[in-house]
Amino acid sequence: MKWNDEVVVITGANKSIGKGMASHFASLGASVVLGYRSSIEEIERIVREIREETGNHNVSYEKMDVNDSGAIEEAVGRIIKRYKKIDVLVNNAGVSYGGALIPSNPLDKWEEIIQTNIMGTINCIHAVSLHMLTAQKGSIINIASLAGLVGMERLSAYSASKAGVIGLTRSLAKEYARFQVRVNAVAPGYIENTGMVDRIPEDQMNAFHKKIAMGHLGEVNDIAEAVSFLASSKSKYITGQTLVVDGGLM
């Protein structure tokens, strides 16, 4: 596949997995747009690093607050004006907060999780889909989680939101298939140097290691490779699937 002809948009690209995916696609030669929400200084630094590391200067950024549907439509419009198309959309932006769903805990954080992880994904797909459906070409990859498949204690809202993303993936795959637009998901397991793993106490992390069949945590590039596979023509007959990347934990 000639990635230098492809335009890849990644939301939440200023975080560990998002940054890793952006760097991976850039190394393949794709034109990569990194979506971010907060610090322009941070995203400018990340873009500079990716350009230097990969030698690919077709790497740029767009402010993309996935909770603001109007702003997302405008950002996508600017990307289309610049590149004339979007070939790959990776919905990586998401939030997670720990805590049990009990009366003493307020619901505002749970509402933010559902809004960002489900409606944020929908907002991005809604903005990009017309261009892909019209071109009758495109690949959408939603970043889900093991939590959406098995449920996790003290992550009830996050688990529900990622289960929703998986259900959305399956439905949209059927809706878009006639237009040759594929929709898949990747469900990462425990990946080192990510926020979720960094918050887990060392003793619990040691217990997780014993449960993982391969005996170690995954790397960010493991997720990037899975996503690029689903984005490529090598998976041209795959849609509606959730690819679990967890070292055999499940």
Task: For the chain, state the CA radius of gyration.
Answer: 17
The total number of residues shown for the chain amounts to 250
Report the C-alpha gap between 236 and 229 in whole angstroms. 10
Q: What is the pLDDT of residue 74?
A: 98
Distances (CA, A) of 49 to 20, 40, 52: 11, 14, 5
Q: What is the pLDDT of residue 202?
A: 74
Q: Is domain 3-245 in CATH 3.40.50.720, yes or no?
A: yes
Q: How far is CA 172 from the centre of its chain?
A: 16
Q: What is the pLDDT of residue 199?
A: 66
* Catalytic member of 36, 83, 97, 158: 158
Q: What is the pLDDT of residue 200?
A: 67
Q: What is the pLDDT of residue 204?
A: 72
Each domain of the chain, given as residue ranges in start order, spans: 3-245
State the DSSP H helix or E strand holding residue 188, giving kind and residue range, or none if neither: strand 181-188
pTM, entire model: 0.95
**Residue 83 falls in the annotated catalytic set:** no
Report the C-alpha gap between 145 and 155 in whole angstroms. 11
Rounded to the nearest 10 degrees, the angle between the axes of helix 40-54 and helix 16-28 is 40
Report residues of the chain scoring pLDDT below 70.
Answer: 100, 104, 196-201
CB 132 within 8 A of CB 138: yes
